[in-house]
């Protein structure tokens, strides 16, 4: 019985990884998988930048991030704003996102994007509601 259970588990791991890659590719249209680890998939965008997508143990989307807000493409679905729409919301609020970004869910803040930016020569961090596009927080980056 142990052998059968182990055998089924061994067969399901590659299928689970393939499903994660498929799910991640749907979130980065036109991208290609460049690395897969347990719950993380790295995808190269059409513009050559890298978006990292992480999943929970059950296969649900957990978070995503990238280092090129101006080049990255990310469309999470689940009634969440795309990266492009979230960036547009930050710019509409008079802010200038640059560089790193992330999308994650937290108990206190819900689904939100975090962006890096610059104001008056100071590094800033912007927090945007990923469902409404509302700028929730602007603070100096540590």
Tell me 48's DSSP state.
S
For the whole model, what pTM was predicted?
Answer: 0.84
Alpha-carbon gap, residue 43 to 54, rounded angstroms? 11
**Cα 46 from Cα 41, distance rounded (Å):** 16
- Averaged pLDDT, 33-39: 93
Model confidence band, residue 12 (pLDDT cutoffs 50, 70, 90): very low
Total structural domains within the chain: 1
| 92-136 pLDDT tens trace | 999 999 999 999 999 999 999 999 999 888 999 999 999 999 999
Q: Give every strand in the sheet of 61-66, ordered side by side.
A: 32-37, 40-44, 50-55, 61-66, 97-106, 110-119, 122-129, 135-140
Instruction: Please calculate the CA angle 54-99-50 and round it to the nearest 5 degrees.
Output: 40
Cβ proximity of 105 and 63 under 8 Å: yes
Q: Which two structure tokens, joined as six digits, stand for 15?
A: 């299928």
Residue 28: per-residue pLDDT: 97
Can you read off the two tokens belonging to residue 109?
Answer: 């803040």
Distance CA 135, CA 120 (A): 19
Question: Which of 89, 85, 90 minimizes the C-alpha distance to 117?
Answer: 90
Q: Domain limits at 48?
A: 2-140
């Amino acid at each position: 019985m142990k052998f059968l259970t182990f055998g089924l588990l061994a067969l399901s791991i590659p299928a689970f990884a393939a499903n994660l890659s498929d799910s991640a590719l749907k979130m980065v249209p036109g991208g290609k998988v460049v690395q897969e680890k347990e719950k993380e998939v790295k995808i190269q965008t059409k513009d050559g930048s890298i978006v990292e997508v992480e999943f929970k143990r059950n296969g649900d989307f957990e978070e995503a991030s990238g280092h090129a807000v101006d080049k990255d493409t990310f469309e999470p679905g689940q009634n969440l704003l795309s990266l492009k729409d979230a960036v547009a919301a930050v710019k509409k609020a008079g802010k200038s996102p640059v560089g790193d970004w992330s999308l994650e869910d937290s108990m206190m803040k819900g689904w939100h994007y975090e962006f890096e930016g610059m104001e008056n020569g100071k590094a800033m961090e912007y927090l945007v509601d990923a469902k409404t596009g509302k700028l929730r927080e602007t603070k100096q980056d540590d």
